[in-house]
Amino acid sequence: MADYLVECKPDLAWSAEDNAQRGEADSLVKWMYSFAGKPCLSTSVVGYCNNISHRGYVTKNLLKSHDCLKKECRFLAKVNQNYWDTMRRQEESARNRRVQAQARELMRLERDAFIRGVMAANPHVYITMIQDDGIALVIYYIYDQYVDLTAELRLIRGELQRPVRLKAVSTTQDIIDRLIRHRSGTVA
């Protein structure tokens, strides 16, 4: 794909008479033909197609409908540099947002694995969910017998350097038995 700027071709532009008929003789806006053969405003032109079968200016809509960028068309020449700079900035910011979201997800998974590892040392506790409520991490768990989790809670708070709350979830004895069997490897 060409990265150079192309000057507007005067032979493809509308004449001054045509602009006068539209009431825009003194305006900086020029009317041109797109390669689809339709008139288009010069402000909406973003490129020029050098393909022999359909030479002409390319608007934003034509660019999207013909997938010129996805095809990496070698005939497309960039005309409106402001449009291309804006597109490049939008792509970079979208890429940065994706990278940041992936990094946050990786940190969340590592955090959850650490918490589950600390709590797995206690055979009577099963973590059901870890949720971040904006203020503190809330660890939901079920248990088959009451145990003191103060040491585990201190370890987690010290490692993560943020408030952590434990919240016991009540459930039926049948579900607790199934979770204990699942943890021990004897799934029924």
Task: Determine the Cα–Cα distance for residues 137 and 162; give it in Å rounded to an integer.
Answer: 8
- For the stretch 23-59, pLDDT in tens is 443 343 455 555 555 666 666 788 888 888 877 888 8
Calculate what percentage of the chain has a pLDDT beyond 90.
Answer: 15
Report the distance separating Cα 54 and Cα 75, nearest Å: 10
Distances (CA, A) of 181 to 113, 124, 171, 174, 185: 21, 12, 16, 11, 6
State the burial class of residue 59 (Cβ atoms within 10 Å of its Cβ: 0-12, 13-18, 19+).
buried
pLDDT tens digits for 146-173?
788 888 889 998 998 989 988 888 777 7
Select from 3.40.1710, 3.40.50, 3.30.70, 2.60.40 the CATH code of 104-184: 3.30.70
Beta carbons of 46 and 84 less than 8 angstroms apart: yes
Distance of CA 144 to the CA centre of its chain: 42
Residue ranges of the domains in the chain? 16-79, 104-184
